[in-house]
Amino acid sequence: MKTKIAVFFGGRSTEHEISVISANQAMHAINKDKYEVIPVYITKQGKWYTGDALMDVANYRDTKSLLAKCREVYMRPVYGDYKLYTVKKPLFGSDVLTELDVVIPVLHGSNGEDGTFEGILDSIGIPYAGCGVLASANGMDKITMKMILQASGIPVVDYVWFTDKQWAKQKDSLIAEIEEKIGYPAIVKPANLGSSVGIGRATDRQQLIERVEDARHYSTRIIVEHMVEHLQEINCSVLGDCDDYITSVLEEPIKSGEILSYEDKYMGGSKGAKGMQASQKRIPADLPDAETARIRFLAGETFRVLSCHGVSRVDMIIDRDNRNIYVNEINTIPGSLSFYLWEATDIPFDVLMDRLVSLALKRKRDAATKTVSYDQNIFSLGGGVKGGTKGKFGTK
Ligand SMILES: Nc1ncnc2c1ncn2[C@@H]1O[C@H](COP(=O)(O)OP(=O)(O)O)[C@@H](O)[C@H]1O
Ligand SMILES: [Mg+2]
């Protein structure tokens, strides 16, 4: 019997289309002698569909006719139930379409890469590839992520963060703090968006206010960072788990211009940010050996301290003026699953997918060795019931 892998993709995210491409690349790379692949497409409205027609990117031009060829499905949020059910029950026979062994989430951005979907999978108890809830949520939030990295001695640019309501109440003191700690130019970002939406640079106070007002449309949490004006961007993928991982060769995404091209990038829609295969890149990046080694080390450290799992991509910024290196962000479900970096590191795409499955199964086995202490019925011990909710057990 082949192991049944469900690849989940699409989703309620600004990076929905990129996810469709990444997932299709991944599904085609999976070794079909060993595995059976079940595509599960999550629509922009949040409904789940499966069907062979989902395995061809060309079909997504007309989603209505695509979905007409598919079946709407769901899983029950019940621990241990790995079945995929059809929404429309057949007149005769079962509504169980198949039973899954492993899930590979290829959902970029919100409602996927942020831990929410991973939480569903944990509730069900099914093994899945990639980061768990904690690492996904921490990796998605640019504020929490930078706090953890900073506390771990990993270099990040200076930043100030606040909520939209704080800004409304104490704008003047926040501006003073930003000007003192960061100065201009600064870069303003909504904390938890997966694409470049809402990001902008500010060269003076007026622009800072405008940029923050813009970012407030997208998120309740906002981060203002020191802007590295002459930067070189370098990315590195990491594969494994936080106790045992390897790093890939480095890529340098090539942009059309320098600083001014940011605006183009931000206005240019959701593409580009995820490093899809189509965008220009130099692999391996042309850097001195010592810098390459340092960047690979920092990428691994970032993966480790955030307790990551599976395949991530860590994006760095080098300041060309002084060669300082900063970790900018981690993508816990990177575009194309960073397969092109692994190919350049002598790990073919099918082997990458194989490793993700093995890692998922290993994590499940490891979890099974941990003691779960809720087997005992505390009520059966007596005492607790008599005292009602104020009894001796009611202290938590
Ligand atoms: N502190 C910074 N200084 C200079 N450029 C930056 C800085 N932070 C981000 N950028 C630029 O903005 C782009 C998008 O920012 P990033 O934090 O990666 O957000 P996203 O999640 O949208 O990819 C980066 O790829 C980089 O080109
Ligand atoms: Mg980025």
219-232 average pLDDT score: 96
In whole angstroms, how far apart are CA 103 and each of 50, 223, 245, 364? 14, 33, 21, 12
In whole numbers, what is the pLDDT of the chain averaged over residues?
Answer: 91
Instruction: State which of 140, 196, 274 you would mutate to test the pocket of ligand 1, scoring each by most atoms of that ligand within 8 A of its C-beta.
Output: 196
- pLDDT confidence tier of residue 68, bands split at 50, 70 and 90: very high
Q: Residue 110: what residue type?
A: S
pLDDT (0 to 100) of residue 142:
97
Q: Is there a cis peptide before residue 284, judged by omega within 30 degrees of 0?
A: yes
Fold for domain 140-153+230-365?
D-amino Acid Aminotransferase; Chain A, domain 1 (3.30.470)
Q: Return residue ranges of the chain for CATH 3.40.50.20.
A: 3-128
Q: What is the pLDDT of residues 346-383, one digit of tens each?
A: 999 999 999 999 999 999 999 988 887 777 788 888 76
Q: For residue 238, is pLDDT > 70?
A: yes
- pLDDT confidence tier of residue 194, bands split at 50, 70 and 90: low
Q: For residue 212, is pLDDT > 80?
A: yes
Is 154 in contact with 314 (CB distance < 8 Å)?
no
Q: For residue 140, is pLDDT > 70?
A: yes
97-107 average pLDDT score: 98
CA distance 304 to 281: 26
Q: For residue 269, is pLDDT > 60?
A: no
Share of the chain above pLDDT 90, in %: 81
CA count, 13 A, side-chain hemisphere, 186: 28
In whole angstroms, how far apart are CA 222 and each of 143, 190, 217, 246, 323? 8, 5, 10, 33, 27
Q: Which of 392 and 64 is assigned the larger pLDDT?
A: 64
Q: For residue 393, is pLDDT > 60?
A: no
Listed residue (95, 363, 388) closest to 244, CA to CA: 363
Q: Whose CA is closest to atom 14 on ligand 1?
A: 196
Would you say the CB of residue 331 lies under 6 angstroms from ligand 1? no
Share of the chain above pLDDT 70, in %: 90
Least confident range of 63-72, 96-105, 123-132, 260-269: 260-269
Q: For residue 101, is pLDDT > 50?
A: yes
Q: What is the pLDDT of residues 141-192, one digit of tens each?
A: 999 999 999 999 999 999 999 999 999 999 999 999 999 999 999 999 999 8
Q: Return residue ranges of the chain for CATH 3.30.470.20.
A: 140-153+230-365
pLDDT (0 to 100) of residue 152:
98
Q: For residue 88, is pLDDT > 60?
A: yes
Q: For residue 204, is pLDDT > 90?
A: yes
Atom of ligand 1 nearest to the CA of 229: 4
pLDDT (0 to 100) of residue 260:
33
Would you say the CB of residue 329 lies under 6 angstroms from ligand 1? yes
Would you say the CB of residue 231 lies under 6 angstroms from ligand 1? yes
pLDDT (0 to 100) of residue 196:
74
Q: For residue 267, is pLDDT > 70?
A: no
Span from the CA of 326 to the centroid of ligand 1 (angstroms)? 11
Q: At what angle do helices 142-151 and 289-305 cross, to 10 degrees?
A: 110
Atom of ligand 1 nearest to the CA of 142: 17
Backbone torsions φ then ψ of 116, nearest 5 degrees: -65, -45
Instruction: State which of 187, 255, 265 you would mutate to test the pocket of ligand 1, scoring each by most atoms of that ligand within 8 A of its C-beta.
Output: 187
Question: How many C-beta atoms lie closer than 10 Å to residue 252's C-beta?
Answer: 18
- State if pTM tops 0.85: yes
pLDDT (0 to 100) of residue 69:
98
Ligand minimally distant from the alpha carbon of residue 195: 1
205-234 average pLDDT score: 96
Least confident range of 266-270, 281-285, 293-297: 266-270
- pLDDT confidence tier of residue 266, bands split at 50, 70 and 90: very low
Instruction: State which of 224, 312, 317, 318 you would mutate to test the pocket of ligand 1, scoring each by most atoms of that ligand within 8 A of its C-beta.
Output: 317
Span from the CA of 225 to the centroid of ligand 1 (angstroms)? 10
Span from the CA of 200 to the centroid of ligand 1 (angstroms)? 9
Q: What is the pLDDT of residues 12-61, one digit of tens each?
A: 998 999 999 999 999 999 999 999 999 999 999 999 999 999 999 999 99
Span from the CA of 380 to the centroid of ligand 2 (angstroms)? 53
Alpha-carbon torsion, ordered 300, 31, 282, 294, to 10 deg: 10
Q: For residue 278, is pLDDT > 50?
A: no
What is 3-128's CATH number, 3.30.70.100, 3.40.50.20, 1.10.3470.10, 3.40.50.720? Answer: 3.40.50.20
Q: Whose CA is closest to atom 6 on ligand 1?
A: 227
Q: Return residue ranges of the chain for CATH 3.30.1490.20.
A: 159-226
Q: Whose CA is closest to atom 7 on ligand 1?
A: 227
pLDDT (0 to 100) of residue 202:
96
What is 159-226's CATH number, 3.40.50.720, 3.40.1350.10, 3.90.420.10, 3.30.1490.20? Answer: 3.30.1490.20
In whole angstroms, how far apart are CA 32 and each of 4, 182, 226, 322? 10, 52, 48, 49
Q: For residue 242, is pLDDT > 90?
A: yes
Span from the CA of 325 to the centroid of ligand 1 (angstroms)? 14
Q: Residue 60: what residue type?
A: Y
In whole angstroms, how far apart are CA 340 and each of 234, 277, 281, 318, 377? 14, 7, 10, 22, 52
